[in-house]
A and B are shown apart, each in its own frame.
Chain A
């Protein structure tokens, strides 16, 4: 009897314990993520969200690596060591299709950043309007964060246009652009969205940049911030790039005038004192924060673009999947003078292959990636001055070209008289851009904006890739299959 009693008591006690801690167990709070309800609680979190937008932009699929790689290897200057499809072989030989990974991944990465921006902007505006940010951030911080957001969104859309739409100058933007997402997407709603026209997308890009400029800070407290966060000059520099693509020469001249003085020395009179850095190599070397680097993607050994996406994997000599220079006549390598500092940024491997040395660190991957440099603004301005000036090759324009050229090639000065026609000058600018930005993802942008075919290329190991005409289906990338599959209003772009 005693045993039964004991047993009963134990059982009863056990059962009584049931009520305990159920509530806590039943409603667990994640310990490694934050809820959307708390991300605007303090300035640290808001600032972290701003940095989150940049981190998203820095994805190895986009500006951290591959975007530049695509734009270089699909053109003429590089030959792959490997036929690995993972490392852009299909981009190189123009066999990308709607379902190819790079086509889908770039699209996904860029739009992911667009949504990160949209979600942030919406949340920020809502918190601000509801007065929740009083005492948390100031009006100027509020403006600054918005300017950074608008600029990042503008960069994203501009980059999408380079790959997935016909250039603006073809039909003055009447062709199909991309879906213009400017609202925060957090639910399954609004899956379908028709593409806007090229012109509409460019209008949005300019709106974002123009909205951003007055809100932006003139400069930050450190060189690192001036290189890795958006300030007024960053926005102006991007505007010169955008207007150049739109063949709006007047605006290129107007915008660039804000940061480029009429005559040498070329140093920005406003905001960050952006200027050409005297030593070409140092631009690509630690600490990566020369005044020339208007905007760069910062890397560390622990936070970088990742395997098979970081720049050294593609352009350093150490990788099995890297790209070496096309040594044939008529390409950038052959055009480089021997004493050009930019030729010193090349390395000849024992097997005779020539590699770029802008990014070489396979092991740490910590080398930064320039997105826009002051040199580009100078060359864009030079070109726009002539094109917008009725084709007259002015000394002012030649001086700008020379500033970039002679920085690396002593005695390489051009004289206005060297250019018999305006076209000769344009060719010289294009060549200079080709040499100056080798590996930096500018080449394809230039071919697109000028409506030039993509030159063919060949090597003994990789065979021949034919010239891609501007009318050919491979001239731009197709709309990704996944977008066509799941966005019922999306249509192919050719």
Chain B
């Protein structure tokens, strides 16, 4: 520690100051494509704060110190040009439009590098690519944009955090989500809401984002050490540039609605089909079709009461610019989105200020301050088995009952919807969606302050000391009100809860960076740093039951019982020391190495530190004489071979106190208790990822096509598994975490950009990426040969076993329907076919001889059926600009995977539940019928998969999705005298425009269990996806 200190101080004090006389230089700047004068170009003396801008005629004049060597000319969208002064007083410059981005600056761990100097696997997505997409958070818009990155929207509920997987699932029980860094600070991620879900990343206005860098291999991520195993996404927000103040407005309005909903039985089909099922069950009862007030039979299409066209709007205003010493970016945003569900609403207000100021030649200070207020309201939209789940209610409720009784009051009976004299139960148990939408409320409101302050000193050219202090303070309140009238609140005589949490984090990073070129060819970069991060999370929850007057709908109202609320307190701390060396010889041979030592408070004493690191090599073969002379360069340019290896960790599975043996306190009626609540593991360590990467990148036809190909192998070890304990041991949670498992991900990814046409008036660019990936679990805990996982805690749907990908879909094999008897054919563990007859005394019989068979169960007869992990995924973007028109189509695709279409079990269930029209049309009726829907028998919840997952309901999920289509038209220099609008673009856009798939459910891009590693690929009573139509404008002044 002291050594480092001394080193810093010494270097700091050795700086020196040079004063000199000045020389006047004048000149003119033109654009390369049109040859026209360029106003507003920033002209700066390199390495100083001295600068000016060109006038309307492209001319400039600048007084430079006689010691000045180079002038730098920069303008947005053009390649920054550096010109040696060499004693001239007149310097004219032609700026080249930056079409190909070969020289773009890429944000890397704790710094920036030029794209062509990067040996690691890093994909950049520009902020422009997502700015107008009608989503709530930037991560939702990343889908299909970067090779190796898979984004799954769990469903169409507003502001749902997508499942992000970089190069596959890299853990089993820990999070597989990447580390997200915003302006240098690791930020909170995930769902922070209650029933009204809210994505923590939605607090970052997509419109404020300059670029998103996805770091994939160990070379790129090694500096993030114990948190890098799942990859890293670095978000950089926009900063000011250009001498002229630039004001922009981005806004859109549109609507959203669900698509590809189930084709349900109409009322008549329902009535006839269910009566047939009753008859088949040997029951003499028949349904009665109730009538409405006018005496007509009731006909209800439930989705009409649950879904809507939700209106959405979003507005962002930014102002940015710079003076020679100060640059600024200011933005405010307002987003107001109604979802496809009624009463699903998201509202965001945000403001950001990014400032950079050069105090003098040696010192700079900077600040980024962003405040966001997010507010979400949502009904219980379901997923899995909640009887209040709106998505499920839309297809489960009978079409012959109404949300209202004929006197106009709600059709309710207790907590559920009433049977309305149909002969069904007086109460169906499931809630009346209209009543609970009207009466209940769930909200989440968050306040987020993301801020960094930084200061840097450059005492010697190339040596920069930088300190960055960042905070991420996230407070949020989730409230619930359940009316006493019906629904979940009925049994409590009303319930209100208020759940508040405050998560505060500070991160303090100090780095020393030194870059120098020796002998004109040997470039060396050194980085050393120390980082601390402390997070404190506090939460409390209060809930009250028994409302004293129906007037009260808030926690603060009057209630008869204040329940004992929940809450928690947790804290953790990291301290890290890191360093990097990168060097290249003549931009031909590159070598880079990084190391990071992380200490984490959650590990046991004496066990807290670990060391991670990575190294890479790169060879730019195009710069070799034998290539340069061979003519290959006429076709291929910038051919680079890369190789990297490193070891990084995954800390996300280690709780704040995982190593400790703990007792918790509660109550026995009125007296306090203490009980053994956590069996800790003092040996717990981070999971490790050994990442190997081989890469090739090249340009074709003078970079008209640029391609990156990477092979990767990620060997994940020390996986923390909650090693299941025999339930008879009575260990709390029936598991103990331990570092026992291993798995790997390997694959090949290709990212290519082709500038098919690049003329000033007509351009066409295609970006394509594809990832082939394979996952295999190679080891589980000793004595544990499988890990089962449930959906909604009720249905066992997934199984993880050695030798297969994580999270396999689990099912009992079924082989269609026996044409002779109309019964579903199940296959038991021994491979024997067994038929199920719900109404018979002996329900399970062998198909071969009709003799009694043991009951089939998922526990004994379930088999790993198929993998829900895609083998291939990627995206294809095409954008065309012709004169003032622009047009873009973005596709994403996922291939080679299976989905458990669990909702199908529901819409074929033979209880009173409504079914798909297919059931009415194709169910088995007589001997000889060939169908996959068995003989309907009232009450049968087994034959179609409600009682246990069956292979009948597992389907291929392959899809190609038209994620986004947009068409725009830009006006330039609108009313220059009055409004002075530089550019005004209007556009129309469809998000989730079209889906190509054979999947029978709503959308194979689905995840009922959110980002669970153990239970992916489940579509169980999950809301469909939403399609959004929007119209917008982008204006810059």
Interface residues of A (CB under 8 A from B): 1, 3-5, 7-8, 10-12, 14-16, 18-19, 22, 25-28, 30-36, 39, 45, 48-49, 51-56, 58, 81-86, 95, 97-99, 101, 104, 107-108, 111-116, 118-120, 178-179, 181, 185-188, 190-193, 228, 298-303, 307, 313, 318-321, 351, 362-364, 460-461, 463, 466, 473, 480-488, 490
Contacts and interface: CB of A to CB of B under 8 A. Distances in A.
A1 B670 CA distance: 71
A4 B5 contact: no
Contacts of B667: 55, 300, 302-303
A482 B734 contact: yes
Given A112-B730, A302-B667, A81 B427 contact: yes
Contact of B281 (A3, A111, A113, A463): A463
Contact of B679 (A187, A483, A487): A187
A36 B662 contact: yes
Interface in B786-807: 786, 788, 794, 796
A11 B728 contact: no
Interface in B649-676: 656-657, 660-676
Contacts of B424: 461
21 contacts: A11-B457, A19-B1, A26-B575, A30-B656, A33-B662, A83-B941, A98-B859, A99-B948, A107-B728, A111-B730, A113-B730, A186-B679, A187-B736, A301-B563, A302-B562, A303-B670, A318-B491, A320-B415, A364-B545, A463-B283, A482-B726
Given A181-B729, A302-B561, A3 B669 contact: no
A33 B678 contact: yes
A179 B728 contact: yes
A55 B675 contact: yes
A460 B281 CA distance: 12
Of the candidates A81, A99, A101, the one having the most CB atoms from chain B within 10 angstroms of its own CB is A99
B363 A303 contact: no
Contacts of B671: 48, 51
B interface, how many residues as a size bin? 35 or more
Of the candidates B362, B427, B725, the one having the most CB atoms from chain A within 10 angstroms of its own CB is B725
Contacts of B727: 104, 107-108, 111, 480, 482-483, 486
Of the candidates A98, A118, A302, the one having the most CB atoms from chain B within 10 angstroms of its own CB is A302
A67 to B, nearest CB: 16
Contact of A3 (B363, B664, B723): B363
Q: Report the 8 A-B pairs with minimum CB-CB distance, sorted nearest first.
A: A115-B730, A481-B859, A52-B675, A99-B859, A298-B669, A487-B726, A52-B673, A25-B573
Contacts of B783: 191-192, 486, 488
Contacts of B938: 463
B660 A35 contact: yes
Nearest to A16: B5
A82 B429 contact: yes
Contacts of A19: 1
Nearest to A4: B15
Contacts of A22: 532, 573, 575
A30 B657 contact: yes
A351 B569 CA distance: 50
Given A27-B601, A482-B724, A49 B858 contact: no
B854 A108 contact: no
A28 B656 contact: yes
Contacts of B530: 18
A7 B457 contact: yes
B796 A99 contact: yes
A83 B939 contact: yes
A473 B730 contact: no
A58 B1030 CA distance: 56
B661 A36 contact: yes
Contact of B670 (A8, A30, A39, A300): A300
B605 A27 contact: yes
A49 B12 CA distance: 60
B360 interface: yes
B1032 to A, nearest CB: 45
Nearest to A483: B727
Contacts of A461: 285, 424-425
Contacts of B385: 86
A52 B467 CA distance: 51
A186 to B, nearest CB: 5
Contacts of B669: 228, 298-300, 303
B8 interface: yes
B426 interface: yes
A460 to B, nearest CB: 6
B784 A33 contact: no
Contact of B429 (A84, A191, A192, A300): A84
B550 to A, nearest CB: 14
Contacts of A28: 571-573, 601, 656-657
A321 B416 CA distance: 10
Nearest to A30: B657
Given A45-B674, A49-B673, A480-B727, A8 B660 contact: no
Contacts of A12: 5, 8-9, 12
A319 B491 contact: yes
Nearest to A24: B573
A104 B734 CA distance: 12
Given A26-B601, A302-B561, A363 B493 contact: yes
Contact of B677 (A33, A120, A320, A486): A33
Given A52-B675, A86-B385, A320-B425, 12 more contacts: A26-B575, A32-B567, A34-B664, A48-B665, A55-B667, A55-B668, A55-B673, A186-B676, A303-B668, A307-B491, A320-B429, A321-B429
Interface string B587-624: 00000000000010100010010000000000000000
Interface in B1-57: 1, 4-5, 8-9, 12-13, 15-17
Contacts of B724: 482, 485-486
Contacts of B788: 485
B911 interface: yes
Of the candidates A97, A113, A118, the one having the most CB atoms from chain B within 10 angstroms of its own CB is A97
A301 B561 contact: yes
Contact of A30 (B459, B465, B660): B660
A36 B510 CA distance: 39
Interface in B252-271: none
A484 B736 contact: no
B657 A33 contact: yes
A35 B662 contact: yes
B28 to A, nearest CB: 36
B564 interface: yes
A48 B673 contact: yes
B465 A11 contact: yes
A3 B360 contact: yes
